[in-house]
Structure 1
Amino acid sequence: MSANGRAYEESHPWITFNFETRSLGEVVWAHLGESYSKCQHLIGAPLQPRVAWDLARVYMRRGALASAAIEGNTLSEDEVNDILDNKRRLPESQQYLEQEVLNVLNALRSVRQEVWESDGAFRLSPDWILGKHSELMEALDVAEHVNPGAYRDVAIVVGNYRGAPAADVPYLMEELCRWVNAILDDAASKRDRTPDQAFFLVFFAATLAHLYLAWIHPFGDGNGRTARLIECAILAHCGLVPWVSTNLLSDYYNRTRSRYYERLDAASRSGDVAGFVGYSALGLRDQLREQIRAVQDHQRRVAWINYVHERFQSEPSTDTARRRRAVVLAMPDGEPLSRKQIRYLTPTIAEMYDGASERLFRRDMSKLVELQLVEEVSSGKYESCIWRMDAFTPRPELGVFAPVLEQLPPEPAP
């Protein structure tokens, strides 16, 4: 035991409540810079309310399931959706799996509500952490040494890792909150910090809180879920990360579970805290890239629908025009289709062409080609021209950013 009476200083010398950002390489800073930029793009992205709600629901459920899955939960995303959307009930022997995921979801919802009601300032406190642990362990059949919403009072070993001495846990949790709050205060200092610098500090606070709680292991069970929830809450409260992105890291940790455990182990075994922070920074960047693509796909589709309707403004409002418009809007992106495939794209289109001659179908396709909404890529094979919405996509074959407008047909007459 050390001179000041804290056993953890000898048993867990890596718990120092100190992190030197100078230990991060240039690549990590690049990942963080890109992540900040992508968060701002998402914050400013226009989306239809229903689509935004659907995306938020998908990512919150996925993150909740991921956090539970890391701890051994075996439910699939489809099963969770079936439980939540269709009120499916699992067999009694599997209901604890459902409860684990529901608890994470409910804890995330409570964080979201706190963000909505917040004045912008978030203070991590032992009481807040204890409350969230209680939510995460609600209605679960736990071992005798596990007390939901209370620190453990026994030694604990998980795999090859031994948690900090139980007698030191309350002190360590107070110190963790003090340290994290100091980083958040630094991030909130508008006089000294630009928004991107504030984002970096908030990210450090979130990932370090996650790492240190895993090191301290203050609870008999549920430490990982609590650590990942804290990480999400810190990101959610900062005002620099959209809610839909705050839980992305849980999904990343689950996808790369073996690497996640390796980084946690290396951080304590060899003091490679920068390795864990860098691993998390890479994951956030990659997950944000996926989110940006999902948002862009929707925006691209909306732009295409609007453009198709615009091209048909000069056409008579007839059943023929409606049929042609339905065909082009039903065609998938980047997939050449035969005449037969197009005629049966949807039940509605199949009904429109029921009994129609091949000549009528060819006239329809010729008109869509004339409007440059469809192109014939080979004999009898057609493809949607939705690529015209990619206004600034580089064209490698030309060696330039090809102006799409040069390839468009004349605008319809007013």
Structure 2
Amino acid sequence: MFDSPFQFEPTSLSDRQLEEIFPLAQKIVESSIILRSAVHETTRTTLRELVRKMNSYYSNRIEGQSTHPYNIERALHNDFSRQPAEARLQRIAMAHIGAEQALEQQIGDRSALDSSFLIEAHRALYERLEPSDRLSDDGEVIVPGQLRLRDVRVGRYIPPIASALPVFLKRMDEVYGASRGWERLLISAACAHHRVAWVHPFLDGNGRAIRLQSHCALWKLSGGLWSPSCGFARSTEDYYVALQNADSPRRGDLDGRGNLSAIGLLEWVRYFLGICDDQAAYMSRMLALDGIKQRVEALVVFRSAQEKAIRREAILPLIHVFALGPVTRGEFAQMTGLGERSARTLLSKLLADRLLLSDSPYGPVRFGLPLDALGMLFPNLYPEVNLPVD
């Protein structure tokens, strides 16, 4: 029976383990800092919106409750399936996107690794769902932001007793709430991710709330341009194995001095940082200007062969708005070098295809990322968009 915080020590890595893992954390920080200054802010905003959709899809997929990316896109335009089960998955996806966006805006100077933020993540997600959409496996309605009031069993594992949850959360606040420096924040986020999962503070929704917390804890570093949820979902078996290994009791005298395995925690942190490194490095490669030039050109050339309204003269203006931000419609038309009527037709088609976006019928245009273009613009970023829709 777990009822005291000493039972989930160590809560952080030893000095020797920190020295071993620090270079990987530094590599992630360097990639992320470069990434945060890549391309124009409006393009980064569009990418953040895409990452939120991806996080919703992947976090829910880990829980076995995902819907196709195109169904998520439909739901964002208030187009829900007539099939009740599918519509429910769409609502869950929408709730995740809305919660993540709201939580990002709340970060400010507070620590997202604080237990109050974790509770807020759970509340932000579940309060966006109707009671009928937030039922546990045994039919109990989940109360948004409420710590569990009873003891539970998760498979063969029995988490800490409900009455002890406050002291476990207090200990996590002491250890993780004051992390300083990007590298230590990354390592603390990794440690917290596991230890919160081990404590299992909510009756249901622990995984989603923890992944929301991890995303927000790293948001100032990532700029919202990458998130570990994608990597977790693509290696779900490894994700659960690494979590379970960190659950292990101490493996002898050479495995730290806590109740749980220090080696298991280090293995989990290495897995977590490896996922972050992969995501940050991938997005850095994708936003390199030389590469995006080639991929925009390939996309326009491919589409121009399919539709006469798409012309190669769109290539340079599209690259311009991707890298340097919005332009007026007149400026975009001028950059194409086409006559007024041909430029207007091209512009209308790009807007209809959502390769360009605008907030008003006559307003400036900015770069768009429609799902059907991702396979060429950002290959392997969100490959599920290319799967058949059920």
Q: Taking structure 1 as the reference length, what is the TM-score of the superposition?
A: 0.63
CA drift at 1:47: 2.8
Secondary structure at 1:161 match in 2? coil
Cα 1:152/1:76, change in 2 over 3 Å: same
- Would the aligned equivalents of 2:62 and 2:236 in 1 still touch at CA under 8 Å? yes
Pick from 337, 340, 347: which aligns with 2:308? 347
2:105 counterpart of 1:122: no
2:75 counterpart of 1:83: yes
Secondary structure at 2:222 match in 1? coil
List, as ranges, runs of 4+ consecutive aligned residues in structure 1 with deviation greater than 6 Å: 302-305
In the other structure, the counterpart of 1:200 is: 183
Give the partner amino acid of 1:218.
Answer: P
In the other structure, the counterpart of 1:137 is: 126
Pick from 137, 156, 160: which aligns with 1:164? 160
Secondary structure at 1:259 match in 2? helix
Cα 1:18/1:37, change in 2 over 3 Å: closer
In the other structure, the counterpart of 1:20 is: 14
In the other structure, the counterpart of 2:222 is: 241
Pick from 51, 58, 70: which aligns with 1:59? 51
Q: Higher mean Cα deviation, 17-26 or 60-69?
A: 17-26
Give the partner amino acid of 2:169.
Answer: M
Pick from 226, 250, 260: which aligns with 2:229? 250
Pick from 3, 11, 21: which aligns with 1:7? 3
Structure 2, unmatched stretches of 5+, are 250-260, 314-390
In structure 1, distance between residues paired with 2:87 and 2:173: 34
CA drift at 1:159: 2.3
Give the partner amino acid of 2:124.
Answer: E
- What is the correspondence of 1:229-308 to structure 2 with a 5 Å cutoff? 229-236=212-219, 239-245=220-226, 248-270=227-249, 271=261, 272-296=264-288, 300-301=292-293
In structure 2, distance between residues paired with 1:108 and 1:41: 24
In the other structure, the counterpart of 1:31 is: 24
In structure 1, distance between residues paired with 2:50 and 2:202: 29
CA drift at 1:199: 1.2
In structure 2, distance between residues paired with 1:164 and 1:204: 24
Q: Higher mean Cα deviation, 153-162 or 199-208?
A: 153-162
Q: Taking structure 2 as the reference length, what is the TM-score of the superposition?
A: 0.67
In the other structure, the counterpart of 1:194 is: none
CA drift at 1:348: 4.5
In structure 2, distance between residues paired with 1:345 and 1:210: 47
In structure 2, distance between residues paired with 1:171 and 1:281: 28
1:103-147: CA deviations, max 9, x gaps? 2212111122124xx2x3436544433232122223233233743
In structure 2, distance between residues paired with 1:176 and 1:301: 46
In the other structure, the counterpart of 1:363 is: none
CA drift at 1:178: 2.1
In structure 1, distance between residues paired with 2:140 and 2:147: 13
In structure 2, distance between residues paired with 1:40 and 1:98: 34
| More relative contact order, 1 or 2 (CA 8 Å, 6+ apart) | 2
Higher Cα Rg: structure 1 or 2?
1
Pick from 38, 49, 61: which aligns with 1:45? 38
CA drift at 1:277: 0.6
Q: Higher mean Cα deviation, 258-267 or 281-290?
A: 281-290
- Would the aligned equivalents of 1:124 and 1:181 in 2 still touch at CA under 8 Å? yes
In the other structure, the counterpart of 1:72 is: 64
RMSD: 3.2
Give the partner amino acid of 2:147.
Answer: Y
In the other structure, the counterpart of 1:213 is: 196
In structure 1, distance between residues paired with 2:300 and 2:51: 27
In the other structure, the counterpart of 1:154 is: 150
- What is the correspondence of 1:403-414 to structure 2 with a 5 Å cutoff? none
Q: Higher mean Cα deviation, 160-169 or 218-227?
A: 160-169
Give the partner amino acid of 1:151.
Answer: L
- Would the aligned equivalents of 1:145 and 1:220 in 2 still touch at CA under 8 Å? no
In structure 1, distance between residues paired with 2:299 and 2:186: 42
